[in-house]
Amino acid sequence: MKAIIKEDVQASLERYADRPVYIHLETTTGSYSAHLNEKNMTVVAYIRNAKVTYHQAKIKGNGPYRVGLKTEEGWIYAEGLTEYTVDEENRVLMAGHLPGGKLAISLQISEKPFTV
């Protein structure tokens, strides 16, 4: 993965507009949050292989970035993204990491279902 270049990510997101795609969206404080301070609550959200069609995509911010995908029924939104890549399967993979490298958020888009 490399640091987000807004224009490149925007172009990658627009490539999948108006087509059915599979979304992976994950955000977590991780179990390490409570491990380091037992008063902290572990918070996790995880969606894998949600099949959606979005009609509009936007990347905003100056880093960390936020991405919004407008669907017919509403929005998919991820904030805190810092890195991305387009892999050999043309999947758009975006992530945000905490200091120290721990994953905080991930948003991934693919034409095919992700492995489970």
**Residue ranges of the domains in the chain?**
2-110
Q: What is the pLDDT of residues 28-82, one digit of tens each?
A: 876 555 556 667 677 889 999 999 999 999 999 998 999 999 999 999 999 999 9
Q: What is the pLDDT of residue 70?
A: 98
Q: What is the pLDDT of residue 2?
A: 95
Q: What is the pLDDT of residue 103?
A: 87
User: C-alpha angle 106/98/79, rounded to 5°?
Assistant: 45
pTM of the model: 0.88
Extract the tokens encoding 7: 């224009």
CATH of 2-110, one of 3.40.50.1100, 2.70.180.10, 3.40.50.670, 3.40.50.10470: 2.70.180.10
Strand pairing class (44-60; 103-110): unpaired
Under 8 Å between Cβ of 16 and 94: no
Under 8 Å between Cβ of 55 and 72: yes
